[in-house]
Structure 1
Amino acid sequence: MAEGIDPAPRRSGPTWREFLTAQAEGIIARDFVHIDLVDLRRVYVLVFLEHGTRRLHIAGVTARHSGPWMVQGARNLAVEWGIRADSLRFLLRDRGAKYTESFDAVFAAGDIQTVRTAPRLLG
């Protein structure tokens, strides 16, 4: 290269799809779903999906989601799981500002590592 910097080498590790397939039993992902009600109000649902079983957990529904509300939803889910959480190793989540250190700490307490998705470029 003209700048004296070679391109980064190709990674020899697994692709994202290979990682998800190999670790499916130990992965849980979280997301928000919004629902528009008949009276035109919008509510947000915090959901978690176990990749291995395709089991969906609803952790809470609210009209206004916030960092503290999300932490409480994570705690509720941890209580619901109880001993089953031992089989989970990774939590997939985006980089949203409402995911605070306290949210991640709920899962870290159960030895679940938070994996944030790559940032998306808008354009």
Structure 2
Amino acid sequence: MNSIMERWIQTCRRELLDRTLIWNQPHLLHALREFETFYNEHRPHRTLRQAAPLRPLPEPSTIPTETTRIDIRRHDRLGGVLREYAHAA
């Protein structure tokens, strides 16, 4: 369990804290909540076959025409420090 927390702290520091100027404790807590949500609900993890921990794996597409044109939308969090990409509906 200790290694899991060490990895999370390392990732949080590299992807969030090294890129963000933190003003005060409420700002730090807000940034950490946003990162936690991003990390668990959107960020792809290699060990989970590019899925997020709290999101089910998408079904693979077997229809060739579905992969020819994919419309992707980007959503910025924390002023663009964290970026989420999703298929447009």
By relative contact order (CA 8 Å, sep 6+), the higher-ranking structure is 2
| Same fold, judged at TM 0.5 (above) | no
TM-score, normalised to structure 1's length? 0.23
Structure index of larger Rg: 1
Structure number with the higher helix fraction is: 2
Larger proportion of strand: 1
What's the TM-score once normalised by structure 2's chain length? 0.28
